[in-house]
Structure 1
């Protein structure tokens, strides 16, 4: 078995999951998960947690104020590689009720659901220029290249084709980082 095949089997891609929390515990759970993400033990496994909010203008007692309102009260979105250790660490957080999904296993949400939830999926946290990546989908599947630049949700990758370097755009779902 080649080194590339071993990397693809051992390295999973971080996906978005949803955690149901107790009443008004979203911010505390989000902060705790983000602090876990910064620890060495969960580096690369937990990317980030987010509570989607929207700004709203309201009038209270004759004054106009702009407030932040939770879009999904009671839910925290977590981007992580869901290993048993990560699941256990998140479940142990005070304020977490359970993962959203079928049975005991959390179910990842689709990229369309991430967009609908208005989550800012910042690729700079996961990928950066100069990273070596492997293409996991499309006509260039199993090709290895280096990230040239990231523009929004497009990642430009240098691939060697016919002894020439060519920059080709991919979406984040089509690539996997190689350590």
Structure 2
């Protein structure tokens, strides 16, 4: 029996719960042979907020997961009737995703796993507060953002004169 890839619509932000629910239903109904992998295309990102780094997964396609399965009436009903799942993408009968597109997505997932990207929450012209280092307690204005180095070039008012300083993302926080 040949398993093909399909895309399932899920409740937004509930992709992991939908995957878990599907796996539970498959096991409960003893249909492990009908199903293969279930993918939630995502990448690991570092978000810097209020001067603190936090790693989290960011989904490439929010509200969608990829499922490899042998499509039968029974397997279709298992997926369709699972909590957090809206249904299959496509009109009427679910449409299989071409293998080359699935390969692109899996490559994107693997590339995302190799490199952790940074979700920058700073922008040029924004006022920030310095929370670490010799300028701790000073407010500054962002002049440049270097995502790859995780650094900011900011202007700080020292003794009434604007001074340019380079800081790490973790040394500052937004003034919100």
- TM score, norm. by length of structure 1: 0.55
**How far apart are 1:74 and its partner, in Å?**
0.1
Residues 35-70 of structure 1, C-alpha deviation per residue, up to 9 Å, x if partnerless?
234346312101232211101122111122222101
The equivalent residue for 2:37 is 48
Residues 61-119 of structure 1, C-alpha deviation per residue, up to 9 Å, x if partnerless?
11222221011100011110010110011100112112012x22111111221122227
The equivalent residue for 1:118 is 106
Q: Which runs of 5+ in 2 are unaligned?
A: 111-176
The equivalent residue for 1:77 is 66
**How far apart are 1:20 and its partner, in Å?**
0.5
Q: Which runs of 5+ in 1 are unaligned?
A: 1-11, 122-179
- When residues 47 and 39 of structure 1 are mapped into structure 2, their CA distance, relative to the original with a 3 A threshold, is farther
**How far apart are 1:18 and its partner, in Å?**
0.5
Partners of 1:38 and 1:93 lie apart in 2 by: 13
Higher RCO (CA-CA < 8 Å; seq separation 6+): 2
CA RMSD of aligned residues (A): 2.1
- Kept in 1, the 8 Å contact 2:79–2:87? The answer is no
- In the TM superposition, 1:76-155 aligns within 5 A as 76-101=65-90, 103-118=91-106
Partners of 2:52 and 2:13 lie apart in 1 by: 26
- TM score, norm. by length of structure 2: 0.56
Paired residue secondary structure (1:44) = helix
- Decide which moves more: 26-35 or 78-87: 26-35
The equivalent residue for 1:14 is 3
1:68 aligns with 2:57: yes
Point out the structure with max Rg over C-alpha. 2
